[in-house]
Amino acid sequence: MILKGKVWKFGDNIDTDAIIPARYLNTSDPKELAKHVMEDADKEFPGKVKAGDIIIAGTNFGCGSSREHAPIAIKAAGIQSVIAKSFARIFYRNAFNIGLPIFESDEAADKIEQGDEVEIDADKGIIRNITKNEEYTAKPMPPFMQELISAGGLIKWTKKKIKTSYQPT
């Protein structure tokens, strides 16, 4: 899987209230949520972001609430991937569960700048900065996470599991 797009850069500890403020959580419609993505981190962001773009952030991206609305809003806005130095754990599992590929890389988070064009080779964990002609490595994606992404998320994975081994009582 190759993901290519333009970068929007954010800082450390971007919390889920910044990604999708709770005042919009009276719906779970992805299109509605996408209209407010990252609004409390950058008010103009929902108007600026384009399908195919990529988010780069610092440490602890997605901290705070368990709301799956956060990765859903990001995905529904057409953002292909998030690269950060680290992710808060519930955001991390939510992203994989809904099939949003995310990557951890200190180097990429430090060196990539706003507006750079990057290309992610998801299978190899290589991030290429086309603008700067540099290459960074992401932490390898654990095999189970790869399995979830290639199954298309946890629901499809569970569906497969139920069919093969699980017997409801």
Partner 1 sequence: MTITEKILAVHCDREEVSPGELINAKVDLVLANDITAPIAITEFKKIGASDVFDKNRIAFIPDHFAPQKDIKAAEQCKMLRDFSKEYNLGLYFEVGRMGIEHALLPEQGIIVPGDLVIGADSHTCTYGALGAFATGVGSTDVASAMATGECWFKVPESMKFIYYGKLNRWVGGKDLILYTIGDIGVDGALYRAMEFEGETIRSLSMHARLTMCNMAIEAGGKSGIIVPDEITEKYVKERVKRPYKFYTSDRNADYIEIREYDCSKIPPVVACPHLPSNVKPAAELFEVTIDQVVIGSCTNGRIEDLREAAEVIKGKKVNPNVRMIVIPATQKIYKQAIKEGLIEVFIDAEAVVSTPTCGPCLGGHMGVLAKGERAIATTNRNFVGRMGHPESEVYLSNPAVAAASAIMGRIATPEEII
Compute how many other C-beta atoms are within 10 angstroms of the C-beta atom of residue 86.
18
> Could you tell me the smallest distance in angstroms from the CB atom of residue 49 to partner 1?
18
Does residue 15 bind partner 1 (CB under 8 A)? yes
Does residue 86 bind partner 1 (CB under 8 A)? yes
The residue to which tokens 């200190």 are assigned: 106
Q: Tokens representing 148?
A: 């979830």
Confirm if 13 and 63 have CB atoms less than 8 A apart: yes
First and final C-alpha spacing in the chain: 39
101-130 positions binding partner 1, by CB under 8 A: none
> Could you tell me the smallest distance in angstroms from the CB atom of residue 30 to partner 1?
10
Does residue 31 bind partner 1 (CB under 8 A)? no
What is the C-alpha to C-alpha distance for residues 161 and 86, in angstroms, rounded to an integer? Answer: 30
Position among 34, 49, 72, 84 found at the interface with partner 1 (CB under 8 A): 72
Specify which residues 63 forms β-bridges with: 15
Q: Where does this chain bind partner 1 (CB under 8 A)? A: 13, 15, 17-18, 21-23, 25-28, 39-41, 43, 59-60, 63-69, 72, 86, 88-90, 93-94, 97-98, 142, 144, 153-155, 157-159, 161-162, 166, 168
